[in-house]
Amino acid sequence: MAGMQQHIPAAQWQSLHGIHTVATNTHAPWTHAPRRYRHAGLITAAGASSRMGTPKALLPLPDRTPLAEHQSNRLKQAGCERVLVVVGAQADTVQPALANCETVINPQWATGRLSSIRAGLKPLSSFDGCFIMPVDAYGVSLDTFKAMREEAETGLHAVVRPTYKATPGHVVWIAQRTLVEVLATDTAADTPMHALLAPHTHRLPVPDPAILRNLNTPAEWARALADEESDPTP
């Protein structure tokens, strides 16, 4: 009709004038990158190993790798950025034989395992948490460490300790805030670590009997090697 303007849709008008718009979703959720946890590892190998007759840290695997080195490698595979091996008894022999490991000497090793844990934790203060295991907890699977790490990274627990058929294992993960308490406590060095941590511990069931290993004699070591050979679970 004469005298009336023709209505042009907005999209067509913008196209005619070279104007282009980009569709946006104003309701998209705000997302954050997941926090990256940093883990360390601590292996206690300072005892006298009197019943074994030789330092447990140097027990040879079939490929001749010393046990402490094998355990250190396992923790690194599990996601630990730094792993320390605490040595004490016969340190002048054990330390040189672990050239591929980072070691720290505990001169007070005879006072109890807690003194070794304190000696090893001091250099690891920059990490979010630490896996602690005795050197003779041989054969703990990577799946177990993965499950512990995932539980730790929920941020809900000060301590994560795996269990097998309701029996607590010898491996534990401790958050940094709890590590500080362990270092500061006046608790006697012969106090069992797990007793000290019990009030803070979250128990995590795992299908891994190796977490219960406490190898003290040559016969027990031979059986552990045989068990791992017959069931080589990674």
The CA–CA distances, whole Å, from 166 to 24, 58, 192 equal: 53, 31, 19
Give the pLDDT band (50/70/90) at residue 25: very low
Weakest-pLDDT range from 112-116, 128-132, 185-189: 185-189
Q: Would you state the pLDDT for residue 165? A: 97
Helices (H), 78-175: 91-97, 113-121, 142-152
> What is the DSSP code (8-state) at residue 35?
P
Least confident of 19-28, 92-101, 217-226: 19-28
Distance CA 61, CA 89 (A): 21
- The pLDDT tens digits for 174-187 are 999 888 877 676 76
| Alpha-helix runs per DSSP H in 38-164 | 67-77, 91-97, 113-121, 142-152
Domain boundaries, the chain: 39-230
Residue 45 in this model has a pLDDT that exceeds 80: yes
Q: Structure pTM?
A: 0.82
Q: Tell me 134's DSSP state.
A: E
> In the chain, pLDDT over 90 holds for what percent of residues?
65
| Structural contact between residues 55 and 45, judged by C-beta atoms closer than 8 angstroms | yes
Structure tokens of 228? 């791992």
Chain mean pLDDT for the chain:
85
Q: Contact 191/233 with Cβ under 8 angstroms?
A: no
Greatest Cα-to-Cα distance within the chain, rounded to the nearest angstrom? 111
Beta strands in 19-164 (DSSP E): 39-45, 80-87, 102-105, 129-134, 159-164
Angle at 206 between CA 204 and CA 211, to 5 degrees: 95
Is residue 98 scored above 80 in pLDDT? yes
Q: For residues 126 and 214, give the distance between their C-alpha atoms in angstroms, rounded to a whole number.
A: 30
pLDDT digits (tens, 9 = 90+) for 188-211: 766 777 777 888 899 999 999 999
Do the Cβ atoms of 128 and 38 come closer than 8 Å? yes
Strands 159-164 and 129-134: unpaired
CA pair distance 36, 38, nearest whole angstrom? 7
CATH 3.40.640.10 holds for 39-230: no
Mean predicted confidence (pLDDT) in 66-80: 97
Indicate whether 122 pLDDT > 80. yes
- φ and ψ at 103, to 5 degrees? -120, 155
The tokens describing 210, both together, are 């190796």
